[in-house]
Structures are given as structure tokens and as C-alpha cells.
A and B are shown apart, each in its own frame.
Chain A
Amino acid sequence: MTDTIAAIATASGRAGLAVLRVSGPEALSVAGHVFRGRPPLSEAASHTVHHGWAHATTDARCLDEVVAAVFRAPRSYTGEDVVELSCHGGRLSAERLLAALVTSGARLAGPGEFTQRAFLNGRIDLAQAEAVADVIHAETEAAHELALAQLAGALSRRLDALGDRMTDALAEVEARVDFAEDVGGVEVPPHVVDLIESVRGELNAMLASAAWGRAIRDGVRVPLVGRPNVGKSSLFNALIGEERAIVTELPGTTRDRVTESIELCGARVTLSDTAGLRESADRVESIGVARAWDTLEESRALLWVIDGTAPIDADDHEIARAFAGKRVLVALNKSDLGCVLAPRDLEPLLVDARWSAAVSVSAVRGDGLAELRAALAQLIEAAPADGAGAQRSIALANPRHADALRRGAEGLARATAAAAAGSPGEIVALELRESLAAIGEVTGRAVDADVLDRIFGRFCIGK
């Protein structure tokens, strides 16, 4: 990292301001070539802001009126010298400034390179670096807050604290394995088992938030599926609050998939109206039906729309065969016309689903829509089952994190089981070490257990 990089930090498009960021050992001199003001940037103190004019370095033409913010290493975003130049918005101003910076010796930054430098300079850890991308890409307020909390290190701090307690447990076990003559007693005493179990409980609580976190971060796709003419398009329009899908009384009106996003409990839900699932002789409709089947197969969560005024038929059974392992919310539509179906009639069709619920609605009158929205939030796991608000700031949004913590929790469960079975201390220690390594994967910190320090601090060792 010996070179100095520059890039436009704000999105392209019409705006009042644009910001360019320069980072690297030559950031002050590179930006100083372009910036004319008092004092010269090379003499500016850290964390100060200066007004001035930007000039092209080649012919001294004035490019724009700018404000320069100076951050000296290591107290900057990247940990290097950083200058941020605010110029007027619009494409041209910023691009000409960037060209001038490159002429002065900066290199165009690659995607994510500022964050990479922050990471490499030890300013942020792996979990925080990942959070930067999440902050930028967040599309709902909840997703944004979640990513911000992770960026601030909430997840890393929590995991460090858990790792610390696990290392304590490991030190207790290792002390009894390596220094039996000094420490003695059972190798895994009850207070150590309690310690392991309490950490496992916290890991599990964090894991319980994983589905919610993922829903918040990535959003969820929910297709509306069902037989033709059960009111999928009407319900779709009712949920999104506008007439997007064409609604007729003719079965098979919807051919192509229509999608629209709504926000539910902080998560972005992309609803898609699909063609009614039936055999069709119409070529265009049959392509739409095939796509609808594909959508059904691919989705983890579905909204199954049923005509509540008609009995279940063979087509419904055919559709329900695809539900195995999925989360399925049933909308018993046309409640305004008097339902012959009750939710319990559907139970046999939903036995293979991973989760299911049923709500009566009338798409045309709007009856039951509020209940349907609430059920949708549960369908996509945007509403935490335990309602644990405190957990929200450190929900596991990232599947990589969730996987690592799951392995960590499993290792702790095996450690407890081994201790209960009277296995030797080295077996319990083996499981604890594997768990620690799994936790360490999230923060990217190598697990330097430092077990000996703890042993010597706690026990009188040595003859």
C-alpha cells in the first residue's frame, strides 16, 4: 500500500454535492496540487475543513469551488492520510476533479479499496468490513441500522466477549490436564460446564436471530401461487396498494410474472404475481405456467392463494406436493363470498411444509389484509418469534457468520456432552478449541487462546 488512491465517493446523478476521496501516503500532496486555498493542505491540521478552489494541474484552469476535509493517519477511515474534497454535484465537476487528482499522482481506486485499506491497516475487522458493504446497500431502515451496528463493532465485541469466556473455560480445563499435581480435582468441574452452557445459550440466541437478520439484510422474495382465477392478481394489487397486475374474471389472465416490493417490519419483500397453475393449450400461457412452477420450486417462502368458496381439487394437491421444506402462508381468498373452506381443511396438504399458517381475506373488499400482512411478516421471519428487541442490533445478517456460530454452538454442545459422559479433559478441550476457532472465523481474528496466561494468573502452578 505504497500508492495513493482516489475515487468519487458519492453516487452518480444529479445532486447538490459530490465528494471525492483521496487516501495514501501522498494524499495531502496529491490533493494539494489540485486544491488552492489557505493554508496549503500539506500544512493543514488533522480533522480540519478548508475552503478553496480546485484547479487542473496541467493548465491551471479553475475546475470548481471546493471544501477540503483533512484526516491525517492513523485517525482516518483507511488509517492513512485522507483528503475528502466536496465539489458541486453533477457528473462533470467531480469527473474533472478526479482526472486532475490522477494527473497529480493518484491511482483510480478499485471497488471496495478504501475499505480494504481500512481492514489491512487494522482500523476495522472482517465483520466490520463486511458491514460497510451492507450499510451502503441497505434498502430499508432496519437493514441500515443493523449494518451500522455491525460496523460499529457490536457483533465483533459480542463475539470477543463470548470468545473470552470460552477461553476462560478452556484455561480451566487445560490447567487440570497439564497441571494435575497442582490443580487436581475433576478435570471439568461443574462451574466450567455452567460457563460453557451459558456461552452456548447466548450463541443460540444469536443464531435465533439469523433468519430475521437475513430477511432484513437481503429482503425476501415471496411469489403468489395457486390455481387460475383464485384472485392472485387482485390480492397482489391489494398488498402493494396499486393496480399493477391486470385483473379480469377470465382464468389465465396473468401470463408473465409481475413483481413489486413492499416493506414489512423493516424487511424488503418482493412479491411476484404468477400465472395460475394449470394445463394450458395456449402457448403463451403455458410458458407463463412453466415459469410459475419454476418460481414455486425455487422459493423458500410462498403465499398460496386459494379460492375459499370452492372445495380443494386435484390441482391443489398437485401444487401442495411442491411445498416440502418450504414456508407457506395460505390466503383463503374471496371471504366476502362466503367460504366453504376452513384452515383445518388445508392441514393435510401442508404437513410437509416447514412452516405454515392460513388467513381468510377478501382482496376486493380488503377484509383481513392487516392480518395477512402480519402473517406475511412471520412467513419471511421478519418478526422475531421471541420478539427479542435487544437482540436486533446484533442480529446475524450474514450467512457466513451464522454458519460459523452454528458450528461454534455445536462444538460447545459436544463439549458439554463429553463432560457429562466423563470423557477426559483433552476431549472437552478439543471441542472447546474447535468452537473458538469457529467464532474466530467471524471476526477474522486468529484464536490466540493465550491459555497459559490465564492458567498462571489463576492457579498456583509449579513445584
Chain B
Amino acid sequence: MFEGIALTDRGALAVGACIYLSAFLFGLISLQLRKHYSRTIVLGLIAGGFALQTVGLNLRGIHVGGCPLGNSFELTQFIGWSVVLLYLIIGPIFRLRLLGFFCAGLATLLSAVSLMIPSWDQAYPINPAGGNPWVELHAALAIFSYGFFAMVALVSIMFLIQQHGLKKKQTGSIYHYLPSIQQLDQMGYRLILAGVLCLTAALAFGAVFYAENKELVPVFKLTVTCLVWIGYSSVAILRQQRKLVTRRHALSAIALFAFALLSLWPIQSASSQQDAPTTAPRQE
């Protein structure tokens, strides 16, 4: 279908990133010039970017014969895709103002960084018959939970901006459009619970594979993943017990996401050291 227009996976992902960027810039200009911020236009642009990113990941999936989660480039793209998918689901339901703007910013950043670092798109062994479906499910759920955690980080940033404005008695169009701190706090809590559930399910599926193939799972990867799970579970429990609330909850969510995101690359390196590259997934 795409041969006629010579669309490569990276090409589609790059166009998707440009559309995300246009959504972010549209929001930024609207806020800077105090013009009307149109949620419909931002949502439309993000949906367009998401469609292109889905096409790109789909092309890559066909090429590698499975879920494209084999190198840092694919992981980063998949996290960005998960964040946007979550926004497209929860955005229209909860109508959190400016969430689309922040979401477009994060999706642009993740896409642009992954596209601009060629070394992230390293070759890795591919299985033409497809991998173990349980491992694929584990990996997809784990990365999808990172999408939840990215969304929590975004909501937490929005919370901190609104709270800063209220404490410093500032007014401005960004504060006018941001949701209330109470809504953001509750949304952060709900998203963290959903993310923990998703990661728990991912770890449960992974555990089944690990029990039978202990030598195939690097200890470092296992340790970091468990640390991320413990971190987020602790934050969720402390929030539920009202011991970690509002500002400290938001800061914890941002710090944990930074840790989770930064830990992906060492995990990826540890995994790739165990696999010898046999073919390049990159399509030029």
C-alpha cells in the first residue's frame, strides 16, 4: 500500500513528529499572543501525527516481524506513541485543558530525539516468524505503562505550574487554560494507579518467561524494572494513605519518570550485549 508513495518507517515517523511539533507550536503561539486556544485544532493535529506515527511503527513492525521494541529508537518512539494514544483516550473524556499542548510537546521531544540520534537505531536480530507472544505482550505492556507514567509526569508538571502561579499570585493565559490543581492532583493519582496495574501485568507475563529462560534475562534489566515498579507502587500507596500528596506527589512522579526513562538505555544496552546483530532494521 505504501510502496507507491515510497513511505519508509522513519519517513512516516518524521512526518508524524513534524505534525506533533505544529500542534505544540500552535498551542504555544495561542498562549503567547493570548489568542483563543482551540482544543479541537490541537486534538486534530495530534490525531494526524498519531496516524503517521502508527503507520511508521506498523511498517517497522512488519519489517522486524513483531512489536518494534528492539532498540532505543523503537522504545522511544513506542513510548511517545503510547503517550499520544492515552491522550486520545483520556483527553476527550476528562477534558483536561492544555493536556494536548503538553502531550504534543513531549511527543515531539521523544520523536525528534530518537530520529536525530542514528546510533539509537542499531541493528538487532529479527525473527521472521515472530517472537514469543508472551514476551511481546510483556514488552508492549511494559512500554505502555511507561506511557501512563509519562502522562503522570505531564499532569504533574501542569500541577506544579498552576500551583506556582497560585502561590506567587500570578495571572496569565496559561493559568487560565490549565485545569484546576484539584483536578490535576486527582488525575495524577488515577494515572499512577493505572500505570502500576499495567506494569504489574507486564511483570507477571515477563515472570512466566523468566521462570523458563533465566539465562536470557539480564539481571540489570530485571533489577531496574523491579526498582521502577517498587518506586511507582510506593508512590501510589503513600498517596492512597495521604502521606505523599500534592506538590511532593507531583515531584516524585516527575523524578520517577526521569529515572524510568533514563534507565531504558542501560537496559537496552544490557539486552543487546546478549544478542548478536544479524540484520539492520533501519529502512532508508
Whether chain B is bound by chain A comes out as no
| Residues of A near any B CB (own CB < 8 A) | none
